A and B are shown apart, each in its own frame.
Chain A
Amino acid sequence: MFNIAPDHAIGLYFGLLALPLALIAIRLRPARHLVPGTVLAASVLMAMSGAIHLGLIGTHREETITALLFLFNGVAYILLSVAFTWRWWRPASAGLLVATLLGYLGYIALGFDSPDQVAVATKLLELTALGLVLVPVRGESRRRTMRWASLAVALPALTLITASTVWIVDLARPADAQHAHAGALLQATNEVATPEQNSAAARLYAETKAAILKYQDPKVAYAAGYRPGGPSNMPSSHWMNQRYVDAGYVMDPHRPQGLVYANTKHGPVLLGAMFQMKRIGQFGPDPGGPLTAWHQHENICVTPVGLEFSLMTPFATCPLGAIDVSVPPMLHVWIVDNPGGPFAVDIDEGVVKSIDRA
């Protein structure tokens, strides 16, 4: 969802190119004075959306139906962006915009395509254009009630449906295997671990476990410089050692940048260690191949209050007071039995609950 599919990139250039052309075309038409500014703005956005659709035809020639739909859509948008003085312009534009939005959502829900930045940007353009098409401005008397009703109910509903569908499809069917974990990018590795990688992973696990067992007593971890982060009412907490983070030790079993504790009613119980790299995009060494793939959390919304998080929406927004960040790659080593494995991205919730009950 936050990547640009290679075969969609061309659409973005077509859309950007259409912006100045559409603005110039409108300035050259005397009829622009006969319509409100909202109509002109919607025309420009529809011209951009049309250009994006036309630009995508070339890279989708082998998918005949998709290419034809792009052609029809692109031509219809361009024609409507020109015909803004037409009597039926509003219903025709609103109909085309809604049909395109719903058509795309059906398309991705059925698995014919995966949402990416070009698609979401186009949907954002279309939703904005739809709002501008529907909004009644001062002096306009035709169908005001219906347009206000559409603007107040249908447009917000369509925006929410678009955002939720894109999000659900992306989480359920990530565009690439590297985004198999929500909000995390996995390091690219070979698919099946070799015998050497198996033994290297086992060695790393044994060394790390032996080195961090002393931290089962949280007081020892605290004395070593580890400090708990985030709310203590969560099932588990990461304790970070800022000195080790700043020093940039790379996968040193004796100096892991973080420790993970279960927050149980008996106090913190050590679950494992976390190695972290210093820079975003800089993945660490991967001795175990697919077994020890690092992961990088991307596009997460973090709030400074209580250090809590959520995921950024498809429209690239975070809740008020939260900021969008990505964190450098990390690798967990779980010393408790974890169904996902000793190097899994997450600890299983059931494991933490059973520790709490024990």
Chain B
Amino acid sequence: MLWTVAGLSAIPFALAGEVFMLGLGLASLLVALATCLLAIGVLWRRRRARRWVIAVEITSLVGSLILLLLPIGANHGPVALMTNLALPIAVILLLHKQRESFS
């Protein structure tokens, strides 16, 4: 859902002339679709979906940590910390604990 919001947020800027933003927006919407399918896979207890979700969340977490640590003025507010750190950590921990219930 957050990827969907991020993808749609690029569209007004693409319409205003930032053409590359259109591509990034569409790519974000595709990622949103992929994460949605992975979530369904996790609900159906598919082992491969669980692995993919953990990999995606670890990648997101590492990327977010790099951005938070670099002195580029990235947002460090509670919402950014929740979205970029707390949410991936929670997903990784929950899926890690329930390993045996996936087939």
Contact = CB atoms under 8 A, between A and B. Distances in A.
A314 interface: yes
A159 B5 contact: yes
Nearest to B68: A324
B5 A315 contact: yes
Interface residues of A, number: 54
Interface string A115-159: 001101100110110010001111000000000000000011001
Contacts of B5: 159-160, 163, 313, 315, 317
Q: Is the interface of B mostly helix, strand, loop or mixed?
A: helix
A354 interface: no
Contact of A316 (B12, B28, B83, B94): B83
A305 B20 contact: yes
Interface of A: 2, 4, 12, 37, 41, 117-118, 120-121, 124-125, 127-128, 131, 135-138, 155-156, 159-160, 163, 231, 233-235, 280, 298-299, 301, 303, 305-306, 308-327
26 contacts: A117-B77, A120-B79, A124-B83, A135-B43, A159-B1, A159-B5, A160-B4, A160-B5, A231-B19, A301-B10, A306-B20, A308-B19, A308-B20, A310-B10, A310-B21, A311-B9, A313-B5, A313-B6, A316-B82, A317-B6, A319-B28, A320-B24, A323-B67, A325-B72, A326-B72, A326-B75
Interface of B: 1-10, 12-13, 17-21, 23-25, 27-28, 31, 43-45, 67, 72-75, 77-80, 82-84, 87, 94, 98
